[in-house]
Chain A
């Protein structure tokens, strides 16, 4: 069946530090891959996505590359800001979304 394993948090970083949140998945076929972000008190927002192998999704300085050979979609950002503090969800999509457990990120000034 389909599943996703996401790096557990919480993660605490200083402002301008480098961020990596690991995500690996198992799926039948080749799903589209998504990262969603949830800010405190708000709904899930689409952060970025990639629909086929080697595609790179990017938004707001975040990037993730669809790696078919390692079935991974790791989220990276070169320099985090306090405003990036949120919970991040990795979510492959085949015929439905499969969500990771979420990784809580706190960025301190």
Chain B
């Protein structure tokens, strides 16, 4: 079946540093990938939608200069949290839409802790 991987699965960083999270579709091509954020015991909230080769579309209230998204290939999208602060600590989940079936598959998530 279709698999989406994320790396790293968890990361701890110091306040003020930047951290990059990778999302890969392993056995299918994805022209569209999505980034979600999940706080404990809360819903997944869509942060942004990225399309291969073009700029990401951010949801209202999401700072595009803080959460940099790059979708450079049909199998890879990256989310970089710049100048991270403790309030950025969260669970980040990516999702990829199969360009053929249009089904959307989710990654296992990355837990970010900013100290």
| A interface residues with partner B (beta carbon < 8 Å) | 4, 36, 41-46, 89, 96-102
A43 touches B93 (CB 8 A): yes
B104 touches A97 (CB 8 A): yes
Interfacial chain B residues near A101, Cβ < 8 Å: 41-43
Interfacial chain A residues near B34, Cβ < 8 Å: 96
B35 within 8 A of A: no
B4 within 8 A of A: yes
| B interface residues with partner A (beta carbon < 8 Å) | 4, 6, 34, 36, 41-46, 49, 93, 95, 103-109
Q: Select one of B43, B46, B106, B107 contacting A102, CB under 8 A.
A: B43
Interfacial chain B residues near A96, Cβ < 8 Å: 34, 46, 49
Interfacial chain A residues near B104, Cβ < 8 Å: 97
The interface residues of chain A, by DSSP majority, are classed as: loop
A100 touches B109 (CB 8 A): no
B46 touches A97 (CB 8 A): yes
CA distance A79 to B103 in the complex (A): 29
Q: Select one of A4, A43, A89, A98 contacting B107, CB under 8 A.
A: A43
A89 touches B109 (CB 8 A): no
B106 touches A43 (CB 8 A): yes
Which residue in chain B gives the minimum CB-CB distance to A98?
Answer: B43
CA distance A29 to B76 in the complex (A): 33
Q: Select one of A36, A41, A100 contacting B106, CB under 8 A.
A: A36
Given contacts A36-B106, A42-B108, contact A100 B4 (CB under 8 A): no
A1 to chain B minimum Cβ distance, whole angstroms, is 11
Pairs A-B, 3 closest by C-beta atoms: A44-B106, A43-B108, A99-B44
